Amino acid sequence: MLSTPHISPQQLEELFPFYIVVDAALTILQVGPSLQKLLPPPFPSLHQEFEVKRPDVPLTFASLSSDRHLLWVLRSRTNEEFMLRGQWLPLQNETSNPWIFLGSPWLTHPKQISALGLKLKDFALHDPAIDLLHLLQMTEQSLHDAHEIAEELSRQTIQLKQANAKLSTQYEALEHAEALKHNILETAAEGIASTDKNGKIMIVNSAIEQIFGYSKDELSAQHLSLLFPHFDNDTDADAFMEVLYARKHADAPIELMGHKKNGELFPCELSLGRVELGETQIYTSVIRNVTERKQAEEALRVRTEQLSHANARLDRASKMKDDFLASISHELRTPLNTILGMSEAFLEGVYGPPNEAQKESLQYIEESGRHLLALINDILDLSKISAGKVELEYEKVDLFDLCQSCMRIIRKGATNKSLQVNFTDEGVTAPLWADARRLKQVLINLLSNATKFTPKGGRIGLRVKMTPDQQQVTFTVWDEGIGISKENQTRIFQPFIQIDSKLSRQYEGTGLGLSLVQHMVKLHNGTLSVESQIGQGSQFHITLPNIAPKQTPARPIIKSLPRVMAPPPPRETPPPPSTKPIKKKTMPYELTSERKKILLAEDNESSIMLFSRFLEAKQYDVTLARNGIEALQHAREDSFDIILMDIQMPKMDGLETIGNLREFQGYAHTPIVALTALAMPEDKERCLQAGADDYLSKPLNLQQLISTIEKHLQKRSHS
């Protein structure tokens, strides 16, 4: 039997017939007699039977002690209408420390007594002091609750204000974004239209009005197919957007014809996007009027076609020009070959020793012929440069040897005019990377001009200077000649331009030399300048970089190209033929034992006479073939030490003949020298690729021909 201090068990049941006693585990140990009517034994745990309505604390053994001063309200879990109010107090016990809830039912109406199955006698006799205590405690609890509610309201008010401020900021941002979107939409150059999945227009911008001529009100709720009625005549209106979307290829726009309000059709491009929001689909179309672009494309297509036709005509004209120049070169070189060859042969005494008058006449003939050849070469060079067909063959050039060679070539003309010729070099300590033949051509042109335009007894010269770092070389050709006026110093580099008609009549030439010089210098990535005053002479400065080329030629440069830019050095007239027997040491190379046999393939009669007589005079046996077929026939019937092959021949040309000869037994390594009036660089390449060992262009220098023959015969004898 439990008891409280100063209260007997009987008094406890009379004063608190609804008490509850629990242990530390909140197991109900005992209840008052009146509460037993509602909660008969065995008793459950306090958690199973009741929940805390007040105070706002968890139902734990610790909270019974910490919140014992508060008024507790416990509500039945089985009957929410039944609540107990009271306080928790500790009990004294020898074995445990139970707590007792001294409470009574919280009733708001008398009917609740019978509803609970209770009677008035089940309730305790009321003590006004206890009621007053309960009233004070309830007031205190109410004030406490009101304070908590006020704090909660204050907290919620602050949160509400913060939420309102955030919403206000978001609303302003939304308004700004909406205004920005509207401005972007309205200022866009492209037309923009938004439709639903059925193609019904929801939004359009001002550009749509400008492109199609409809107002926004007229387009509102209209179908997009109104703007593109010819898109797909077989497409149902409801499926229009799906079909349109299906035509889309990656990011590429759809090309279709737009339809203006006035009935005009025009080309346009449509970029289509789709957004899905749940079951709702929205299509956005960006539309561009591409009329101007299509017109520009058509104009460009027409212009391109015209340019293509024009280029084709230019290509044909260029080929005709090249063919014409090649033909003219061939036709001019062939008679020049005879003129120069015969002159050289006569001067060599092949046909007997000439007298002084004959020798002088022959020299004039030879000089005139070589001058004509130089003009032909200049014209061909200028044509090739203009067509971009000149490629430099870089090599390391010994500047001293190159300059001395140039001086030797112009020395005869200078001597005839009693000119003093000077050469100086400054700081030349290394070779120069350049095309030796082209550089020599440049210097000879300038030196020849200096000789031509300097009066008798004057001075001309060549000066070459290298920078200390060896990265640059400057050539200066100077003279004390007639000079060039300031206004003419740019005109002289134009093709076919000479200073004036008076000078043109006084000085021979075509006006091509300086133009060629300028082009050759530019090909070397160099610069050309002139300083001159009338009556005080001129100075031409050429500055070239000394830089190794990125790609060197794959094949060794052949330095013996037969290009004549100026008359050769003066020759000595050979003595008349001796009537004494030829001794071994005076005969040509390896002719002491037997005469070497040459097969000459040539169809031009004058060339046949020139070459055969000259070679026979040099103690060679010559067999003549007038075309390629005859050359092959002679090769089958006999053996030859060397073959001289013309290229343009009837029945079978020289290139095909060379190819066939190389397949003959015994002729795989027989020296073959191509002799031709075809003097273009590609002609040389074709001859060498066909199987020729060497190449000489007409007109030939007969001494060079002999040197070439002996060189190959000597090489063959050592192999």
Angle CA 423–427–428, to nearest 5: 70
In this model, does residue 234 exceed pLDDT 50?
Answer: yes
More confident residue, 122 or 325: 122
More confident residue, 19 or 581: 19
More confident residue, 621 or 81: 621
Dig out the tokens for 700 from the structure: 């030939």
Query: What pLDDT, in 10s, does the model give residues 455-490?
Result: 999 999 999 999 999 999 999 999 998 888 887 877
Q: What is the four-CA torsion angle of 519, 522, 527, 532, rounded to 10 degrees?
A: 0
* pLDDT score recorded for residue 228: 84
Least confident of 125-134, 331-340, 374-383, 405-414: 125-134
Domain definitions of the chain by residue range: 9-125, 188-289, 394-545, 586-718
- In 82-138, DSSP assigns E strands to 83-90, 99-105
What topology does CATH give the domain 394-545?
Heat Shock Protein 90 (3.30.565)
Least confident of 181-185, 357-361, 653-657, 687-691: 357-361
Cα–Cα dist 476/567, whole Å: 22
Residue by residue, DSSP assigns 449-481 as HHHHTS-TT-EEEEEEEE-TTSSEEEEEEEE-S
Strand order in the sheet with 280-289: 201-204, 191-196, 280-289, 265-277, 254-259
Element (H, E) at 185: helix 128-187
| Domain 586-718 bears CATH identifier 3.40.50.2300 | yes
* pLDDT score recorded for residue 557: 35
Give me the chain's average pLDDT, please. Answer: 81
More confident residue, 278 or 509: 278
Cα–Cα dist 547/432, whole Å: 8
Given the candidates 3.30.450.260, 2.40.50.500, 3.40.50.300, 1.10.10.10, the CATH classification of the domain at 9-125 is 3.30.450.260
Dig out the tokens for 484 from the structure: 């060039």
Query: What pLDDT, in 10s, does the model give residues 340-361?
Result: 777 777 777 777 888 887 777 7
* pLDDT score recorded for residue 624: 95
Query: What pLDDT, in 10s, does the model give residues 279-315?
Result: 888 888 899 999 999 999 999 999 999 999 898 888 7
Using alpha carbons, select from 441, 407, 408 the residue that is nearest to residue 542.
441
* pLDDT score recorded for residue 147: 83
User: Rounded to two decimals, what is the model's pTM?
Assistant: 0.43
Tell me what the mean pLDDT of segment 259-273 comes to.
89
In this model, does residue 605 exceed pLDDT 60?
Answer: yes
Grouping H, G, I as helix, E, B as strand and the rest as coil, residue 547 is coil
In this model, does residue 40 exceed pLDDT 90?
Answer: no
Least confident of 18-27, 221-230, 546-555, 670-679: 546-555
In this model, does residue 179 exceed pLDDT 70?
Answer: yes
User: What DSSP designation does 348 have?
Assistant: H
In this model, does residue 326 exceed pLDDT 80?
Answer: no
Cα–Cα dist 260/200, whole Å: 18
Under CATH, to which class is 188-289 assigned?
Answer: alpha beta
Grouping H, G, I as helix, E, B as strand and the rest as coil, residue 183 is helix
Phi, psi at residue 590, to the nearest 5°? 60, 35
Least confident of 111-125, 628-642, 703-717: 111-125
**What percent of the chain clears pLDDT 70, i.e. is strictly above it?**
81
* pLDDT score recorded for residue 410: 87
Tell me what the mean pLDDT of segment 657-668 comes to.
92
Give the total residue count for the chain. 719
In this model, does residue 590 exceed pLDDT 50?
Answer: no
Cα–Cα dist 562/429, whole Å: 30
In this model, does residue 388 exceed pLDDT 60?
Answer: yes
Q: Is-same-fold flag (9-125; 188-289)?
A: yes
